[in-house]
Amino acid sequence: MTDSADQLAVARLFFAVVPDDAARAALAALAREVARETGGRAPREENLHLTLAFLGNLPRERIAELTAIGAAAAAAATPFPLALERVGAFREAGVAWAGTETVPAPMQRLFEELRALLRAAGLPTERRAFHPHVTLARRCRRGPPIAAMAPVAWRVESIVLMASETRPDGAHYRALASWPLAAASPLP
């Protein structure tokens, strides 16, 4: 955990996986295109992520507990390839996203393990089915005209506890802690 985490009184927190540099650059280019097409606003490139669990505003005292939960979830998971293959929208929310055709089994297991640990700690969890996606644009005035996309893929090897900070120039996400997926096998 970083020293900056200790300086937060209340934080808007979430667990996520983040794309590698190449995938992040490809998603940022796609986000700019989708934002133009939808009349929306693309997120900052450094903010691109896939949320595993949104926790909302929590007191700083819970961060130590969340680091233990993150470590336990990562220890039970294996790295896996992830490919985002389609563009979609949450029309009522005005959000366009890049997502998966099907949820990779290791990602589903990671999500379920994290959700179980959060529930056991009395923390909020999403009740809806897991819909892994990366937000490409917010405040969209119309839906994205494209559904298929060139796949953007990376190997998920860690999870991150993030804090969302609202600033005059928009949201900034900051990593508070990260854990490698400990059941890692060496790459060939």
Rounded distance between C-alpha atoms, residue 35 and residue 41, angstroms = 5
Model pLDDT, residue 124: 83
Rounded distance between C-alpha atoms, residue 113 and residue 18, angstroms = 18
Residue 65 exposed, middle or buried by CB count within 10 Å (0-12, 13-18, 19+): middle
Model pLDDT, residue 188: 43
Return the domain boundaries, the chain: 12-180
Other beta carbons within 10 Å of 18: 22
Token match 């809806």: residue? 128
Q: 82 by DSSP, 3-state: which? A: strand
Model pLDDT, residue 7: 47
> Looking at domain 12-180, which of 3.30.700.30, 3.90.1140.10, 3.60.70.12, 3.40.50.300 is its CATH number?
3.90.1140.10
**Cβ-based neighbours of 123, under 8 Å, separated by 6 or more:** 55, 58, 62, 66, 69
Q: What is the pTM for the complete model shown?
A: 0.87
Rounded distance between C-alpha atoms, residue 142 and residue 120, angstroms = 40
**Cβ-based neighbours of 73, under 8 Å, separated by 6 or more:** 15, 110, 113, 114, 117, 159, 179
pLDDT by position in tens, the chain (length 188): 444 444 447 678 999 999 999 999 999 999 999 999 999 999 999 999 999 999 988 888 889 999 999 999 999 999 999 999 999 988 888 899 999 989 999 999 999 999 999 999 999 888 888 999 999 999 999 888 767 789 999 999 999 999 988 777 777 899 999 999 986 544 44
Model pLDDT, residue 3: 41
